Homo-oligomer: A and B are copies of this chain.
Amino acid sequence: MWCPAYSLTIEREVDPRPYVRVRDADLVWFGRNVEASQCAAGATRALACDDPVMGTPPLLTAADVDAYRSSLSNWGRWGDDDERGCANHLRPEHTAAAAALVRRGRSVSCARTLATEPAIDNQRPVEHHMTGTVTEGYGADWFGIAPHGYATSHLDALCHIFWDGQLYGGRPADVVTAHGATKLGVHTLRDGIVARGVLLDIPAALGVDALEPGTAITVEDLEVAEARADVRVGTGDVLLVRTGRWRWREQHGPWDPREQLAGLHASCLPWLHEREIALLGSDGVSDVHPSHVVDVRLPIHTVGIVAMGLHLLDNLDLDALADACREEERAAFLLTVAPLILRGGTASPVNPIATL
């Protein structure tokens, strides 16, 4: 049962049906105004998702996530000075092989139109101001953008997330100053990512339009989607996980994604590590909200960015790509991610282009 934001109810209810999904973890909200006291420890929410295929996410604790810090760490793997992290998995031969995937020559955007109107899921709208119009005799403009959050399609730089005062590779947090990050800024990917993109369309694999907000995606789900699409995610790939977020929004209206958002459960982290992907993207923010791990709000961001050095693509729009993949009967394609070169930036708005 879908609960719109602001009227979220937490019920302890266990559905006896064998395959029903039970999200039995203590719910933890994301957001700066959320207190630990809001975590109703022991609460259980049963959702009537009687689909037999979705995996049940294993119970994970903060200690488990903490253990990933060392077991999944890539610190030092590409040298002590490395600032590219998992982007190192992408080697020129992967790029060349990805280009060879282009058949039809059809290009599709994976980005949303920049959102300039405030909404419950767009707390900091892009400001777009015209500085030349009919009255000046030419068109010109300015825009101001804070790419993070839940509205703008963007690439997270490795300086975005800290863990116990450290960034990827062990840099101290004070490399992130009010004049920009002196290490791990988004400019380190200045030459872009040109790679094989793989779309795992989870709702399509489940036969639904969109995942309900808050749905946790498991390794099992990823592998079901792989099997359905006859593709295997591998070294140097950009993995794009579609949850159907925007289709859900079309049908149900906007809600507060900080409270409920479909995404990957933390237990997917070892799988992401093993598959050696170069980049991870989603139409959400990769992390499921709530995280289903007590006291850990953003395990994918935290372990992914800090321990693994995995850049993330947040708030993509994968609906047109899903349509194109279905029409072309494929799930792998050439993908180009071209961040703006903002020295010391923590993110860049991007428009990743898939070419099939």
Complex alpha-carbon distance, A194 and B110, angstroms: 14
**A111 to chain B: closest residue by CB:** B341
Q: Closest CB-CB distance, A163 to chain B, in whole Å?
A: 10
Q: Closest CB-CB distance, A140 to chain B, in whole Å?
A: 5
Which segment of A9-17, A153-161, A217-225 sits at the interface? A153-161
In the bound complex, do residue B181 and residue A139 qualify as a contact, i.e. CB atoms below 8 Å apart?
Answer: yes
In the bound complex, do residue B99 and residue A100 qualify as a contact, i.e. CB atoms below 8 Å apart?
Answer: yes
In this complex, which of A114, A116, A140, A344 has the most chain B Cβ atoms within 10 angstroms of its Cβ? A140
In the bound complex, do residue A342 and residue B102 qualify as a contact, i.e. CB atoms below 8 Å apart?
Answer: no
Set B177, B342, B346: member contacting A140, Cβ < 8 A? B346
CB-CB < 8 A to A341: which residues of B?
109, 111-114, 351
Judge if A6 is at the interface, Cβ distance under 8 Å. no
CB-CB < 8 A to A114: which residues of B?
340-343
Give the residues from 120 to 146 in chain A that come closer than 8 angstroms, CB to CB, to chain B.
123-124, 126-146
Copies of the polypeptide in the assembly: 4
Judge if A107 is at the interface, Cβ distance under 8 Å. yes
Judge if A323 is at the interface, Cβ distance under 8 Å. no
Complex alpha-carbon distance, A142 and B97, angstroms: 36
Q: A174-B134, A336-B336, A349-B340 are in contact. Are A129 and B113 (CB under 8 A)?
A: no
Q: A135-B178, A350-B338 are in contact. Are A144 and B146 (CB under 8 A)?
A: no
CB-CB < 8 A to A69: which residues of B?
none
Judge if A252 is at the interface, Cβ distance under 8 Å. no
In the bound complex, do residue A355 and residue B116 qualify as a contact, i.e. CB atoms below 8 Å apart?
Answer: no
In the bound complex, do residue B107 and residue A95 qualify as a contact, i.e. CB atoms below 8 Å apart?
Answer: yes
Q: A130-B129, A355-B95 are in contact. Are A136 and B194 (CB under 8 A)?
A: no
CB-CB < 8 A to A187: which residues of B?
113
Complex alpha-carbon distance, A177 and B130, angstroms: 8
In the bound complex, do residue A173 and residue B137 qualify as a contact, i.e. CB atoms below 8 Å apart?
Answer: yes
Judge if A62 is at the interface, Cβ distance under 8 Å. no
Q: A341-B351, A343-B114 are in contact. Are A192 and B107 (CB under 8 A)?
A: yes
Judge if A58 is at the interface, Cβ distance under 8 Å. no
In the bound complex, do residue B104 and residue A96 qualify as a contact, i.e. CB atoms below 8 Å apart?
Answer: yes
5 A-B pairs whose Cβ atoms sit less than 8 Å apart in the complex:
A95-B107, A107-B193, A118-B124, A128-B342, A139-B161
Beyond the given pairs A109-B192, A130-B180, 13 more chain A to chain B contacts, judged by CB atoms under 8 angstroms and listed by A's residue number, are A92-B105, A94-B105, A96-B105, A113-B341, A127-B127, A130-B130, A135-B178, A135-B179, A141-B148, A141-B342, A142-B145, A338-B350, A338-B352
